[in-house]
Structure 1
Amino acid sequence: MVPANRVESGEFEGWYTWPEEPFEYESAGPFYFRVDEQGPVAAFRAERKHMNAGGSVHGGCLMAFADFSLFAIAHEQIEGEYGVTVAFTSEFLSGPAEGAYIEARGEVLRSGKNLTFVRGIITGDGKPSLNFSGTIMRRPKR
């Protein structure tokens, strides 16, 4: 996994991100993460570029954020290693509006030599929006 960079200003000052991940940082995000008193958390602010025509955060954006969140939640278990998502499931619960604070929290269910299993929930302004789980496989970086 590429090292995380600390955000130095703005709403997410003090959080971390992976700017070397172009899709998650430039296209879909930027997405952020940190560890607080409740554990690992990932977040972003819903902008116009994240919306669908119905006025809700696009499902593909929520799934991309959930994939990012797998790694944020498992950050301590896989730090210093590269990983890829090999399994992912999700269920849509609600669509957050533009401007919503989107947050993901979860837990590592098991972390072994090669595989790490994670589950979590994404909320939009505190309302459940997406339930997700996934499996990360450690791999040599190409």
Structure 2
Amino acid sequence: MNELPQNAFHRRPDLHVETEGEFAGWRTWTRDSFETHNGPFWHRMDETGTVQCAFRVEKKHLNGMRNVHGGCFMAFADYCLFAIASAHLQGPGVTVNFACEFLDAAREGELIECDGEVTRAGGSLIFLRGTLRSGDRKLFTFSGTIKRVKWKQPPPAGTSST
């Protein structure tokens, strides 16, 4: 259960809240063009403060065997790391470690959901783990570490960055 105030979850300026369809009320980030292209991936916080993540499998998520591509599971799990950590992160971060296990396949049309937790949040590192599921079927487990970082300002126009 999340011990931080729920409003910490909603502070990012690049947050889009869906207004219609299956994921009405769910959120996604718009700044990450890779995730935007490969998703859409969604997250929300339930009434207990637990972060939930999900996506509906589309044809673009499939490999040549018509199962969800392993890279799609990995990209979604990385998205989940940041959604789950967002109340602790409260600013930018980067993934510094990611490990996973593929347990089962998923097919077009399935709803993929993630449950996970922060196992430790220190001064600069946040450790997490999670499981991707389709219904009661476990598909993929993962763990990862996020490092908090500070925004770097771009160099002034007309100057060299080296």
Same fold (TM over 0.5): yes
RMSD value, Cα? 1.4
Q: Of the candidates 123, 127, 136, which is equivalent to residue 126 of structure 1?
A: 136
User: Percent identity between the aligned chains?
Assistant: 46
Is the strand fraction higher in 1 or 2? 1
Gaps of 5+ in 1: none
CA distance in 1: counterparts of 2:62 and 2:135, whole angstroms: 15
Question: Aligned pair count?
Answer: 140
CA distance in 1: counterparts of 2:145 and 2:41, whole angstroms: 20
TM-score by length of 2: 0.82
CA distance in 2: counterparts of 1:35 and 1:101, whole angstroms: 18
Specify the alignment match of 1:35 in structure 2. Answer: 45
Specify the alignment match of 1:76 in structure 2. Answer: 87
Maintained 8 Å contact 1:2/1:20: no
Listed one character per residue, the Cα deviations across residues 23-58 of structure 1 (whole Å, up to 9, x for unaligned) are 111x21010001114611110000000001111100
TM-score by length of 1: 0.93
CA distance in 2: counterparts of 1:131 and 1:22, whole angstroms: 25
Maintained 8 Å contact 1:85/1:136: yes
Structure (1 or 2) with the larger CA radius of gyration: 2
Specify the alignment match of 1:99 in structure 2. Answer: 109
Higher relative contact order (CA 8 A, sep 6+): 1
Instruction: Give 4+ residue runs of structure 1 displaced > 6 Å after superposition.
Output: none
